[in-house]
Amino acid sequence: MKKLNAIKSEKVWGYENWIASTHPNGFQKDFFELCGGDYPLLVKVIQADSTLSVQVHPDDEMASLYEHCRGKTECWYILSAEEGTELVYGLNGVYSASELRKAIEADSLQDCLRYEKVRAGDFLYIPAGTVHAICGGLRLLEVQQSSDVTYRLYDWGRGRECHVERGIACIKDTEIRKVLPFPGSFVSPYFSLEEVSVEGKHFSRLENCAAEKKAADIVLGFVIEGSGTINGIPAAAEDIFAFEPGDAVEIEGRLKLMKITAK
């Protein structure tokens, strides 16, 4: 077991803490050594003080074609939200590539976007190909494929490079789910999440079914709230721990955790 140290990345809109990563753009050497290679997920805490660009990520097929890397399906668990805060979650209708280009050129893309109000504890699944944007006033946990490919469609006049043609080519007519509180567990083709609450003491041992060590077998435990100890190490909100198959897990205190597993 290892408690991981975050890598902070300042942004024009706030910052990101890469808290579990073997990606070259945020490489945690101690985590790489623990998992024995290329971990298929990337886990972040995102602090949005202002709105991020309107963006879309490629799926595995398009990312392989354009970037020779993984695609980027992700999900968000809202850690905190200012009252009335919204985010962009999909389009509000069906638009042709030509219609989206014209809206971007006319600075009216916001009229095509689907806005959702969110609050702490809400959960959103964002398959690759979904148009989205995190708005200011939000802090969230992001679990995603280990990829750093983002195509900006629109950046609110900030002057950064946009990737309109590739972005539009990657948009998919994906099912937009209702924004609801996290249901306790969630499974996608790339990752699974499970909320675990501990009051007092908890002991378990991770299953050890692998004949040889694989990066994807690592299990992550992210502290959503509370405090205590995990295997004797102090644990507080937004700490993250990495466990190998077969590890004993001894938790003491009052904590709510998110168990994160690669698929």
How far is Cα 44 from Cα 166, in angstroms, rounded to an integer? Answer: 25
Tokens of 176: 């937009």
Q: What is the arrangement of strands in the sheet containing 7-11, beginning at the earlier edge strand?
A: 7-11, 14-20, 41-48, 138-145, 74-81, 122-126, 180-181
Helix (H) or strand (E) holding 99: helix 97-105
Q: Which residues are CB-contacts of 159 (< 8 A; sequence separation ≥ 6)?
A: none
Number of CB atoms found within 10 A of residue 263's CB: 11
List phi, psi (to 5°) of 31.
-70, -45
How far is Cα 204 from Cα 206, in angstroms, rounded to an integer? Answer: 7
| Nearest Cα to Cα of residue 165 among 110, 105, 107, 90 | 105
> In this structure, are residues 82 and 96 in contact, taking their beta carbons and an 8 Å threshold?
no
Q: What is the arrangement of strands in the sheet containing 86-91, beginning at the earlier edge strand?
A: 113-117, 86-91, 132-133, 54-56, 151-154
Q: Which residues are CB-contacts of 172 (< 8 A; sequence separation ≥ 6)?
A: 59, 127, 128, 129, 130
Catalytic residue selected from 152, 160, 177, 254: 152
Clarify whether 254 is annotated catalytic: no
Tokens of 123: 């959960």
**Which sequence positions are flagged as catalytic?**
152
